[in-house]
Amino acid sequence: MVAQPPAEILYIQPDLDSLDRPEPTVEGTGRRRIAAAMSPALNGDRVPRTFLEQLPILEALELPARLDALASCDAAAIVYDTESFRLVCILRGRNAGFIAWPLACLFAYGCFAAIIFEFLPILRELVVPLEDVFGPLLSTISFLLIFRLGRAAVRYWDARAAAGLMVERCRVLASDSAVVCVSHPELRSRFARWLAIFPVTVKNSLRPATSECSRLAELVPLISESEAKRLLDPERTCAPIYVLNQLRLAAIEVAQLPELDPMFRAAVYQELCSSINVLTGAWGAMDRINGTPLPFVYVAHLRTFLLLYLILFFTETVAQFGWIALPLLLAGSWALLGIEAAALECERPFQRRPNHLLLGRFACVVARHVGQTLRDCEARAHGGA
């Protein structure tokens, strides 16, 4: 008599053939049904290892649940008409939380100053002439703010360029490896797997984990649960370095393929290593921007004298015009503080914020393009169009 396997083993070994066969009562492709079968694991439960080992690379790359998990780790981007002034009515994405407390403090100080000047008119006569003393300070503050915002904009576009370079090189590596390894599907799939994982590990290294993201779901369809947990543990593994090492090992295997001409093998290996080096540099550029804010001395000096100027500005204007000046003073203060808030928002654009880079969606783009490259290669290998 043959012993029956435990029920939990039967559960984690689903019938893959039945998943790919359409059912008359269920709409959707085999891909959606695989996603449905994987949903417990993608929600944080134990991942069925046998299922992962048999999941085709194309299905794993484009699993809707995985792509949804990647897309959900980004904040909703702000879409606006660049040729319209209606965007002035949009308050979301202005980093208002950063300037709320200094504005509240300035408003409270303005109210206090207005009350003092009402009870002590002699102070008003002493304060009004001070405009000529602190007025020139505005030019210095303006220069510091312009430089601050300019540097933040440069850092933002440098970060975007590095992210774009990462996506570009993933495409190049996918195409190169797919063409060279056309008769080695296992090696081709290994390249595709690690290329799809690389932008995910870069995102995770730059952005702290949040409750809105399921990082295990972003990796599990491509690698086993144990390996995914290892990549997600920064104490054990620097995930981008680990992935780059796997790509280099795969490149060495390509250079040892016996059917290739030695000169061609050397050229292919050099090209693959060059692209991997570019990926390393792109991640390094983003990591450098994320880990190096503007020096403390500059930011501290700017904010100190910005607040000092606004306090003096409130004092003189309230002394001269009284309560009626407070709304205009708040608007002017918001204009100056808003420049610092915008610079802070753009300085390190890797968090889950509306103005920051959509790192999760970049990973989705890489996965889809790598999948398309594999499909084109397989179509050609089978004589398809």
List C-alpha distances in Å: 346 to 229, 341, 380: 31, 9, 45
Give yes or no for residue 30 having a pLDDT over 70.
Answer: no
Average of per-residue pLDDT across 173-180? 94
- Per-residue tokens: 187: 């090696």
* pLDDT at res. 55: 67
Closest alpha carbon to 195 in 245, 243, 234:
243
Confidence tier at 91 by pLDDT (50, 70, 90) = confident
Query: Does residue 44 carry a pLDDT above 60?
Result: no
pLDDT score of 136: 82
Please tell me the distance from the alpha carbon of residue 58 to that of residue 243, in angstroms, as a whole number.
19
Query: 369 CB contacts (<8 Å, ≥6 apart)?
Result: 170, 171, 174
pLDDT tens digit string along 179-193?
A: 999 889 899 999 999
Tens of pLDDT along 117-130?
Answer: 989 888 888 887 77
pLDDT for residue 307: 94
Span 208-222, average pLDDT? 88
Q: Tell me the average pLDDT across 142-154.
A: 94
Token match 């303005």: residue? 110
| pLDDT tens per residue across span 94-123 | 999 999 999 999 999 999 999 999 898 888
Higher pLDDT, 83 or 5: 83
Q: What is the pLDDT of residue 108?
A: 96
**pLDDT higher at 49 or 183:** 183
Average pLDDT, the chain: 84
Q: Which residue has the tokens 């292919």?
A: 268
Query: What is the per-residue pLDDT across 221-252, written as a single tens digit (0 to 9) for each?
Result: 899 899 999 999 988 889 999 999 999 999 99
Confidence band, pLDDT 50/70/90 cuts, at residue 381: low
What is the band of 19 on the pLDDT scale with cuts at 50, 70, 90? very low
Residue 383: per-residue pLDDT: 63
Confidence of residue 69 (pLDDT cuts 50, 70, 90): very high
- pLDDT at position 11: 32
Q: HSE (CB half, 13 Å, CA atoms) of 163?
A: 26
* pTM of the shown model: 0.81
Runs of H (alpha helix) within 181-224: 185-206, 215-219
Residue 200: other Cβ atoms inside 10 A? 29
How far is residue 157 from each of residues 160, 282, 355, 362, 370, measured CA to CA in Å?
Answer: 5, 13, 12, 15, 25
Give the max Cα distance, the chain: 106
For residue 125, the model assigns a pLDDT of 83
Round to whole Å and give the CA distance between 287 and 355. 18
Among 23-32, 151-160, 234-243, 334-343, whose mean pLDDT is lowest? Answer: 23-32
Phi/psi of residue 183, nearest 5 degrees: -100, 10
Name which residue leads in pLDDT, 14 or 160: 160
Tell me the pLDDT tens digit for each residue of 311-351: 999 999 999 999 999 999 999 999 999 999 999 999 999 99
Neighbours of 272 (CB within 10 A): 23
pLDDT surpasses 90 at 132: no
53 has a pLDDT exceeding 80: no
